[in-house]
Structure 1
C-alpha cells in the first residue's frame, strides 16, 4: 500500500456553546489543503457526547457523525485518528463527562495528538492532561483557568504545542494553529497556497499575543505610564501600593498621579480598581468560582467591599451580573 495516500484523520468533539469561528477556522484549512493538492489528504469526523447536533454559542446547530460511545469503539485500529480537537466556548466549566475525559486520556496514551480550541484547554486540564504543560486559552477565560488549574502553564499566546497537546486561543488563532500543522505535513508551499485561499498574507507566530499591545489598545505612547499599567495588570490578586509602583518605575508619587490625570483622566488608584473589577467580571462570567473567591482573587479584602465597588462601576451587584449572564445563555 502506498502510505503517502493515507489521509490524516482528525476528530472534532463539539461541546455545547462551542465557538463557531474557532471550529470553522480549524476545519476549513483542511478542506482547502485537499483542494490545493487535488486529493483527500485530510479526513475529519465530528463527534458529540450523545450523537445529536450541537448548538454553537451563536445558536446554530451543527450535525455530527458519531456519538462519543460510537467514537470510542470505531475510531481505533485501521481508522485510528491522528488528532482529536475539543471545540468549546462560553460556559465551558458547565461541561463534565467522565467518559469523555477518560476517552481523551486514552487517546493521549495511544500517542494520538489531543488539542483544544478556544476554551478547550479547560476540558483538557479537567481530564488531567495539562499538568506541567504549556497551553493557551482565550484571554477572557485565562484568569479563571489560572485560578482553577494552577499546575498548568497557561500563556496568553495564540497557540501552544507541548508533548502532543495542541491548544489555541480560539477565533482565528485556530487557523494559525492548523496552518502550522499543514506546514509540518506538506511543507511551506502548500501552507502558503492555503493562506492565499483564506486571503491572509502570513501565518502568525505561535507566541504572538492574543490581544493588542497596551500601546495600541489604549492609544498611549508614554513608556513609564505603559510600564505602570503592565505592573498593575500583572499584580491583581495582591495589588501594589502607589509607593511600590513609584519606586519601581523611578518616579515620585506626585509624578505618577500627574501622569494618570493627564493621559487617562483619573487617579492611579481608580485606574487600578478598574483593572481589578474588569478581571473580576471575567471571572464571574467565565467560571463558577464563589463570589468571595472572585473577590480574593482580585485583591479585595471582603466580599462586601467587592460588591460595593462592583455595583458602583457596573450598576449591578456581582450576583446580578452572574444571574443575568446565566439567563442570557
Structure 2
C-alpha cells in the first residue's frame, strides 16, 4: 500500500519538523525518519508527516555528501508538535542566533524539541538544556561538559525530559523513534516497526553508547579495569603510576605485572596509547588547533605530541586531520 492510498480517518497525523544543520549525521536522521515512515506503512494510515527545514532554506549536505532538499527555512511558521534538530561533525562551529531564537520561540509555543547526535549542542547553545537532563553522542561529550556545566549530562542512548528530548544519534535514533511510536500509537505497532528493521531486542533509554570497558580492553580483571578507568578519566592531566597503584590497593610492581599479564604492555605504554587514540579521534572529528588538542590530551608541547603521533601512527598530526 502506498502512502497516497492510506486513509486517515482517525486522529490527525503527528506533524514533525526536521531541522538539518549543515554537516548533520545521516545515520541518525535516517534511523528516525524511516521508523516513522514504517509506522505509516504498517498501520495503513498517515500517523506521521514531516517537513524539512534548513537554516537558510537551501538544500543541506550531510557528512557523507548526501544533500536533502528543504521545505522551509528557519523563522518560517511551521505547525509541528515536535522538532528534531540533526547535527554532526563538530557542532561547536555552528553559530546562528536566528536559529537559536527560532528554537526558543518554538519551545515557548509548546513544541517539543529533540536533538539528535550533535543536535543537543545546538539546543544547549539556544539555552534549552540548562538545568535539564540530556545525553549526546559520546564523541561530543568532553567538550560539551566543559561548555555547558549546568546540563545534567547522562551516558544513555536517549533522554526524554518532558518536552525536551536528546538522543546520542546513530542507531539510537531508531530506539528513540520506537519509544515515541509506542507512546503515541501503542507497543504493538512499535514492535512491528522494530521487527521490520531487524531490531528484535529492545534497548533501554539508559543503555550504554559504547562497549563496556572489559569488551574494549579485552580483560575482565577488575583491578586492571579500575586502573584503566582512572587513566581514561584524566587524559588531560595524567595521573602518576604510583597514585593509580595506591588507588587500586596494590604496589606499583604488582600493577605492572597485572598490566603485562592482561594487556601485554606496561602502565605507561597503555596510558600513552589511550591519550594518543583520544587525540587522533579529536584530530579527525574537530578542527581544534593541534596545539590545543595536544594540551587537552596531556602532552607538554606540540613538538612532543607530534613525535609521539608519528611513532604510533607513522604520520604527523596534520596527516591524521586530513584523513
TM superposition score normalised by structure 2: 0.90
What root-mean-square deviation, in Å, do the aligned CA atoms of Structure 1 and Structure 2 show?
A: 2.2
Q: Does 1:218 align with 2:217?
A: yes
| 1:275 match: secondary structure | helix
| Structure 2: 5+ residue stretches without partners | 1-7
**7, 22, 27: which one aligns with 2:13:** 7
Map 1:181-196 → 2, pairs under 5 A: 181-196=180-195
Give the structure 2 partner of residue 201 of structure 1: 200
| 2:138 match: secondary structure | coil
Map 1:7-46 → 2, pairs under 5 A: 7-46=13-52
Give the structure 2 partner of residue 95 of structure 1: 94
Distance (Å, rounded) in 2 between the aligned partners of 1:309 and 1:219: 24
Relative distance call for 1:116 and 1:198 in structure 2 (3 A) is same
| 1:73 match: secondary structure | coil
Maintained 8 Å contact 1:146/1:154: yes
**59, 82, 86: which one aligns with 1:53:** 59
- TM-superposed CA distance for 1:14, in Å, is 1.1
Deviations 1:10-69 (A, max 9, x none): 11111222211111100011111122322111111111122222222222212221222x
| Structure 1: 5+ residue stretches without partners | none
Maintained 8 Å contact 2:120/2:166: yes
Give the structure 1 partner of residue 294 of structure 2: 295
- TM-superposed CA distance for 1:119, in Å, is 1.2
Report the number of matched residues: 316
Give the structure 1 partner of residue 305 of structure 2: 306
Distance (Å, rounded) in 1 between the aligned partners of 2:9 and 2:236: 54
Give the structure 2 partner of residue 258 of structure 1: 257
Give the structure 2 partner of residue 64 of structure 1: 70
- TM-superposed CA distance for 1:263, in Å, is 2.3
Give the structure 1 partner of residue 151 of structure 2: 152
Give the structure 1 partner of residue 228 of structure 2: 229
Greater shift in the superposed pair: 311-320 or 243-252? 311-320
Give the structure 1 partner of residue 165 of structure 2: 166
Distance (Å, rounded) in 1 between the aligned partners of 2:149 and 2:275: 19
Distance (Å, rounded) in 2 between the aligned partners of 1:8 and 1:60: 27
Map 1:71-150 → 2, pairs under 5 A: 72-75=75-78, 80-150=79-149
